[in-house]
Chain A
Amino acid sequence: MQALALPALLERVTDTLDPDRELAERFRSGDRSAFDAIVRRHQKGVWRMVRRYVRHDADAFDVTQQVFVRAFKGLASFRGAATVRSWLYRIAINCALSWLRDHRREQPAEIAEDSLTAMPVAPANIASDQDGTRLRAAIAQLPPKQKLVLELRVFDDLSFKEVAELADCSENTAKVNFHYAVKRLRDILGGPDAR
């Protein structure tokens, strides 16, 4: 009885850890609509992650599309060692870095063309925008590993396990990097200004 119950329990635990597991299984068995469900669930997160690397919205759109095309081709052989989300984000990071390599010279240093067509900022939001700009500038000063871990943890809301998988390090190293990143951000922003 217990022997029968244990695998079912383990499967339930795994499903809880990775809610996309069932969708991936359905896709593997030929259900095309399962992939659409994965796209709808993760396109926003993938786009936001890609957008942190790629400056233009249109480019982020293309790279996101490329991420899901790669995922579509690879999902059938996805073994489930990681969660589908962290697997997708890994593809997203690789695609974004690859895109950056290919378009290094085309990336404007400061002014993105999207900023010209972006929604005008209301006067009430000026202060918070300045605050946001300062925060983003502070994040940009972090060492690459700390920046990656902080962004994955704070903006993408990934678990430390998933962050570790994406950052190619142990869970403990991810935690340490995260705490260093937070302390360093506070140092950069200065004591009272950070509040």
Chain B
Amino acid sequence: MRDDPELDTDDRALIDKLRALPPEGNEPDWDQLAAAIRAEVGDHAPRPWWRNWRWIVPIWALATTATVALIVLRHERPAPPTHEHAHKIQRDPGVSAKPAPAMWLDGEELDLDDVDEPALDELDLEARAALSPEEDVTGGILPVADYGWIDTLDDDAIERAEDWLKRKRS
């Protein structure tokens, strides 16, 4: 206050007088006042209410993040099969370990591995010629998985095929 340039000498003198004034009233016994305050407030320092809950926010944030991460990861890729699941797949009766029969001919199973290649080629050529003698068939005559082509044969073709089979038997 002494360095305040806005105050002149008279101002400072007045302020000094004010400061020299005795305090109003009779001051109490300070020890008594301190003891009274201590008795009033007790011996334990209060804690702010949020101190007891200060872990709630981080724990809540962590739990939420973990939940969201779990949901996202579970939806991203299917879970790998468990050991028990793998056994179940192996035991599935729909899947057979036995190889499918190669071919049936005249009510008997024909193992193509036992038939020699030239004989098969000859049989193939004969079949082609019987089905369409005027047509030059270059591809395979029997579709592997579909016998629907039989429905497309006309009467003459079926008749020629039957004749060929009769000749074969004899």
**Residue ranges of A at the interface with B (Cβ–Cβ < 8 Å):** 27-28, 30-32, 34-36, 39-40, 43-44, 47-48, 51-52, 56-57, 60-61, 64-65, 68-69, 72-73, 76-77, 114, 118-119, 131-132, 135-136, 139, 150, 153-155, 175, 179, 182-183, 185-186, 189, 194-195
Contact = CB atoms under 8 A, between A and B. Distances in A.
Contact of B47 (A30, A35, A69, A186): A30
18 contacts: A32-B44, A35-B45, A39-B38, A40-B34, A43-B34, A44-B30, A47-B27, A48-B23, A60-B25, A64-B33, A69-B37, A73-B46, A132-B22, A135-B21, A136-B21, A154-B15, A179-B7, A194-B13
Given A43-B33, A48-B23, A64-B33, A69 B41 contact: yes
B10 interface: yes
B24 A48 contact: yes
Contact of A195 (B10, B36, B46, B47): B10
Contacts of A35: 41, 45
Interface residues of B, number: 34
Interface string B4-38: 00110011011101110111111110100110111
Contacts of B19: 154-155
Nearest to A125: B22
A77 B48 contact: yes
Contact of B45 (A27, A56, A154, A155): A27
Contacts of A47: 27-28, 33
Contacts, number: 107
B1 interface: yes
Given A57-B26, A65-B40, A195-B13, A76 B47 contact: yes
Closest 6 pairs between A and B when the two form their complex, measured CB to CB: A72-B41, A77-B48, A76-B48, A68-B37, A57-B25, A32-B45
Contacts of A60: 25, 28
Contact of B41 (A64, A68, A139): A68
Contact of A186 (B10, B30, B44, B45): B10
A147 to B, nearest CB: 12
A69 B40 contact: yes
A182 to B, nearest CB: 5
Contacts of A186: 10-11, 14
B33 A65 contact: yes
B43 interface: yes
B10 to A, nearest CB: 6
A194 B21 CA distance: 14
B23 A51 contact: yes
B18 A135 contact: yes
Contacts of B51: 76
Contacts of A179: 6-7
Interface in B34-83: 34, 36-38, 40-41, 43-48, 51
Contacts of A155: 18-19, 21, 23
